[in-house]
Structure 1
């Protein structure tokens, strides 16, 4: 996701589109933090904008609202339909010069925590794989996956690219949905799902005694014992990159995944005091803006629109706290 800065005031009449992942969250701790949160600039901004229809969903949808919003802004399939998830990996592969028409997926080496009644996955970043370790894993996994027509290549040590027909019609869950949860709720679905489940089981056995894992275990580091795929699909043949991609303010993301609601509240206050304040200034200066706030279930977009004097006065004197809008996400 992009975390680019806003363009200078007056630089471009194109709406400055901003997406905020995890502006709200489902856990009770998040609700308690939200009820006490003071966001004065967002309180002032929202009544000056017109609300678009809500992207309704629930916390069990494979694609979280912020990914759906970003995909729509980029002109990609948004994942509302299970048959058309956002093809994030194909999008990345095209940026690297890959030929169109190929099916891709993100491939994450990961650590599964096997319990008595469920399996949870820690964040791939917690493995802290080095480039050397990733290359060692690729050397053993690439020939093995090639037997099923899957080609693996390293994008970053913790996130690889995988290509193959198995990913063409695969309904895969976003990584955010899976972390620290029972993975059995989020296993891929579609024609290639059975192949991937078999490969996950065989990968566990293949890596169980691998020298890399023996060294990590001796150093008391988590071992690599499986993989996860997401962002699967094919980039539409007619897709073209938009002239201006949205800006993503992603600072609420990690505190929300960690369940650190004090840090989440602090991050929201920093956003309100800085970037939201700047967005308010743009709106007051007559520049068109779009703001999409995303929770774990739903997303809501606000945009600039002409307003009558009566609407302005009503917005000024009957200004609700933004917390009401955030609670609905």
Structure 2
């Protein structure tokens, strides 16, 4: 039998809203998985790492952590069929930065709606500027590029998800080479400001692509640990999708075919929590109750799974709940969602 870990970013409600959200949520299978456990723990955020708790957890689980943060660039490149040359590589995401009343904010890169032709055109225009700065730029897909910048190896960067919705002043790359990053960023921003792609996008009332975000630095030879679990993605996981061994389309088929230690990453609740759409968050978890939690509980009780672990997070904390078929027999433990509080 196999072990399944389900990583659910932002499925842990934030404390100020948790009581009301838990009362509104009808999810008995999730309640059983959270209530009848063999172990549970809450892990606070490591403030020294500029990544969200679930990103820190996943980086460690895959053996792709650098100082606790995700060192994912080289592994993601290989998923695109690109073998990185020796050196230090960064993930580069084209993004939209908007001016709020008092600060700059990043729009969610996953909602940018950037097409392949648009991305290619912006990439080709920026490429000479990266090369002039001594950095190789490689195209992955519309939302994911890669940059080799050996002299930026010590740059302290933040993941896009950590910076999302925050004052970007506090999340820009820091360190000895930060000024060099800002120079290149400014040059590209000026270049893209009048780019035909953005003129067309603005005419269609789409946000312009006016900056890029660099993060996830890794040495070219950095690979997942030999004993790392298999990683599967249930929905759009952003860059995590580009680290995955499989994308899950049929959950029942996936559950029946699990062999060994497997991580299932499901980020479908995250956009609702980030956007403070708590009605949407409840609706999404209700969908996951039928599509995910109930089938997993059934597979556990039928002993197709030896152990199930749920890893739930919000911006400031992470909780782990581990259960087995034997733990589920603890009928004296009331099934509830109180563990989410």
Matched residues in 2 for 1:42 and 1:115: separation?
38
Secondary structure of the residue aligned to 2:42 is: coil
Q: Which whole-Å deviations, capped at 9, do the CAs of 1:201-236 have from their partners, x for residues lacking one?
A: 222222222333333334443222211122223354
2:25–2:282: 8 Å Cα contact kept in structure 1?
Answer: yes
Tell me the equivalent position of 1:3.
none
Cα distance in 1 between the residues matched to 2:198 and 2:15: 35
Question: Secondary structure of the residue that 1:224 maps to in structure 2?
Answer: coil
> Is the 2:198–2:208 Cα contact (8 Å) retained in structure 1?
yes
How far residue 152 of structure 1 moved from its aligned partner, in angstroms, is 1.6
Mapped pair 1:277 → 2:321: no
- The number of residue pairs the alignment matches comes to 306
Q: Is 1:70 aligned to 2:70, yes or no?
A: no
Q: Map 1:144-155 onto structure 2 (within 5 A).
A: 144-155=129-140
Q: 1:167 to 1:253 in 2, by over 3 A?
A: farther
Displacement after TM superposition at 1:198 (Å): 2.0
2:332 paired residue number: 317
Distance 1:306 1:167, change over 3 A: farther
User: Does the Cα contact within 8 Å between 1:294 and 1:300 map onto a contact in 2?
Assistant: yes
Structure 2 residue aligned with 1:7: none
Q: Which runs of 5+ in 1 are unaligned?
A: 1-12
Equivalent residue, structure 2, for 1:38:
26
Name the structure where strand makes up a greater proportion of residues: 2
1:1-329 correspondence to structure 2 within 5 Å: 13-26=1-14, 28=16, 32-57=20-45, 62-77=50-65, 83-95=67-79, 96-99=81-84, 101-234=86-219, 236=222, 239-240=225-226, 242=228, 244-245=230-231, 246-286=263-303, 287-289=305-307, 290-304=309-323, 315-319=330-334, 321-323=336-338, 325-327=339-341
Query: Is the 1:105–1:229 contact (alpha carbons within 8 Å) kept by the matching residues of 2?
Result: yes
Cα gap change, 1:215 to 1:107, in 2 (>3 Å): same
1:159-184 residue CA offsets vs partner (Å, 9 max, x unmatched): 21222214423322121122232111
Local SS of the residue matching 1:134:
helix
- 1:92, distance to aligned residue in structure 2 (A): 0.7
Q: RMSD across aligned C-alpha pairs, in angstroms?
A: 2.8
Indicate if the aligned counterparts of 1:134 and 1:154 stay in contact, CA closer than 8 A: no
Measure how far apart 1:247 and its partner are.
0.8
Structure 2 length-normalised TM: 0.79
| 1:83-131: CA deviation from partner (whole Å, max 9, x where unpaired) | 4521122211133241475322221212211245211111234432222
TM value normalised by structure 1: 0.81
For structure 2, the residue ranges without an aligned partner over 5 or more in a row are: 232-262
Q: Per-residue CA shift, 1:299-320, capped at 9, x if unaligned?
A: 222334696xxx878x432436
